Structures are given as C-alpha cells and as structure tokens.
Structure 1
Amino acid sequence: MESNFIIKWETVICVPNYDALGKPCSIIVENGRLIEVDMKPSDLINENLLYYGSSLQGATEGASRILGNTYSNPIAISEKQNIYWLPSKSPASDDCVWFALHHIVRLRAFGKAQTEVQLTGGHKIVIDSSFYTLTKREMRAYTLKGKIERRSEKPAEMVREEKSCYYISKPNGKVNYELKKQDKDS
C-alpha cells in the first residue's frame, strides 16, 4: 500500500475502500494498474490540491464562486495540466467516488438510482447515483473547465488612467493614511 500518491493526467478514478483492519483507504486506477493508497479519497484529493497549490476547501470555494452555490461541485486539481475531477456525491461521504473528467467516456443509466460509468482503458464502475444527477455533475465539470480556460486565455487588461497622482503617507501616531493629491512630476 502506498502512503502517498500524486494525481496525474493518467489517473482515471479514485474509489473509497477499507483495508484489512477496517481503515479507510483509496483505490486508484492509473495506466491499467490498481494502486492502493493509505488515505481516504477526500484526504488524497486534498493532499494533491495542496501539492498543486490549493486545497479541497479552496478548490470547492473557487468552483462555487465560478458555478454558483451548487451541491458537490467539480474541482480543478491542476488547471495548467488540464486535470478536472468530479465527485459522485458529497466529498464528505464515505462512499464518494472521484472521477477524472477527461477519462469519462460514457454514462449509462443502470436501474433507477444507479449509473454505469465507462472510462478510458475499458474500465467500468456502477455507482449509487442516478444518471440524471451524474450527468449534471459532468456538465458542471465541463462548465467549470470552460470558464477557467476562458479566464486564463486572455487576462483582464488593466486600465491605466493617469488622471491624478497621490502621495500616501501615514503620520506618526495616526491610524489612517493620508492621501494628498500632487502634481505628476513631483
């Protein structure tokens, strides 16, 4: 069992599991291999987000800001590497499965409240989430990806207005700064 794992482009899915002693862990599918990691999925996702410069809380808050306050938002693991993941249900749930968006090939209804997810490499998993719910989550992940890409393509241009110049100082013993208008050449 691995004690740590870095999510990469090749990482397909993260499934919750329990070891022989009943401790939560994760099963990762990557490059046709199963890798058992000694962390529950939410901790593994958080550790990877920290590795790439964020956190699960930060990524969730960022996605909520971009998509609106929706339930179980997708997250950007690494925008630079184009790695976006989505949860099958609340990330706080012990049986939440995490999917790499770019590895989802097809969703298929499987009974009333289950969905079969076909993944790259021929992998399949049936999860306890309706087709409708999982399809909505997949669409939100594509929306998040698209919005982040559009925002990253052309950064907002800074508007530089040179109408006035100010001298900003903080006098001794004062709490606030003083703003004094001055000539541009001063």
Structure 2
Amino acid sequence: MTKRKNFKLEMNMEKEIGQDTVLILPDYDEHGCLNSMIYHTGGKIHIDSKPFDLIDTNLRFRGSSMRGAVEGSAAILGKLNKNPIIIDRDKGIILLPSQSALLDGCVWLSLQHIMECYSLEGNRTKVALSNGCSIILDGSKKSIQRRMEKAYELQFKMEAQKRIFENGKRVMENAYHLEKQAGGVNYEHLAGE
C-alpha cells in the first residue's frame, strides 16, 4: 500500500497571486534550488517555492489545484500543450505559461497585464507589460500570441458558461408535487395538485 503525500497548505499574503500579479519567474538560489520571483505592479517578492508549487498552493487556497485547473482548461479548450489556467474566475486572473508548465524554466504571465508583443531576432519575443516593464522570452511572437488567444478564449467561454447558468434559472409554469408511496422506491407526481 502506498502512502499518500500529505499536502500542507501554507498560504500568506506574500504568496498570493492576485490582480496586481504581473508575472511569476523561476529563480534559482545560490545552492541551485528552484524558487519563484513574483512581480507585481508595484514591485517583486522572492518566494521559497517552485512556480508550479506556488500556483498550486494558490489554487488549493481557492479550493482547486493545479491538476484541476489544467484539466478544466483542457476540458474547455481541448487538450493543448501550454494551456492557460484560471486562478480566480471572478477576479479575471488567468495565467499563461511561456512553455510547458512541467518545465522548470516556465514563466507565467498574467493575461490582464500583457499589453503588446514584439518580435526579436533569434526567435525571441519582447512582451510589454501593463506596469511599463517588459520581459524577453524564448519563442516566436506568434506562439506567445496564440497562447494569449487561448487564454482569451478560455476567459470568454467561462463567462459564457456563467451567463448560461445564471440566465438558465426559470420559474416553472406548472408546479409539481411529489410523493414516495409507502414501500415504493421512486417519487411520483400527485394528480390534481
């Protein structure tokens, strides 16, 4: 019998991925351990946690997980490599990866903070951010823009689903009355009520 890995939720304000989070970078310390650097609109914070684990902690704090976010994204967009994930639907926090989320070098960008992409030599892209800063990523402008389009598609489809469920509530024209007879297994409609 295998033991389950215990998950200990350690969340604090420093680790929060919020509306002011611009991007999350992998950051190696002097011992070669992978950590994270969270860039916010007003500065940056070093976190002693891998980006993947940091995002997973944020999702678990909100009642989900990285696995759930990835599977949910794939269910809506289809199975894709480098799918965007929703951190908080109500606040519009969607992150898109610069490469596979399983790779240690993955940079996570907040969709709402991407302003423009510019092609650079050597198959690299400069991404201008909402706070006036920028980051240069490996990969073509087209590939970054494709991931942005998928993130907008995910956002749109999630909002559409929300509207369908909210507007789908309707008042029944005919009231119903149900009763399960003694010894019966199913509920039945009562006549004349």
Aligned match of 1:117: 127
Q: Does 1:179 align with 2:190?
A: no
- My pick for the range that moved more, 155-164 or 65-74, is 155-164
Aligned match of 1:149: 159
CA distance in 1, matches of 2:188, 2:55: 50
Q: Superposition RMSD on alpha carbons, in Å?
A: 2.6
User: Where do 5+ consecutive residues of structure 1 fail to align?
Assistant: 172-176
CA distance in 1, matches of 2:64, 2:110: 17
Instruction: Give, as a single letter, the amino acid of the residue that structure 1 aligns with 2:99.
Output: K
Q: How many residues align?
A: 179
Assess if the C-alpha contact under 8 Å between 1:165 and 1:184 holds in 2: no
Alignment of 1:10-89 (within 5 A): 10-89=20-99
- My pick for the range that moved more, 95-104 or 128-137, is 128-137
TM-fit CA distance, 1:163: 7.9
TM-score w.r.t. the length of structure 2 is: 0.82
**SS of the counterpart of 1:178?**
coil
Compared CA separation, residues 185 and 124, structure 1 to 2 (3 A): same
TM-score w.r.t. the length of structure 1 is: 0.84
CA distance in 2, matches of 1:22, 1:80: 37
TM-fit CA distance, 1:153: 2.7
Q: Sequence identity, in percent?
A: 32
User: Where do 5+ consecutive residues of structure 2 fail to align?
Assistant: 1-10
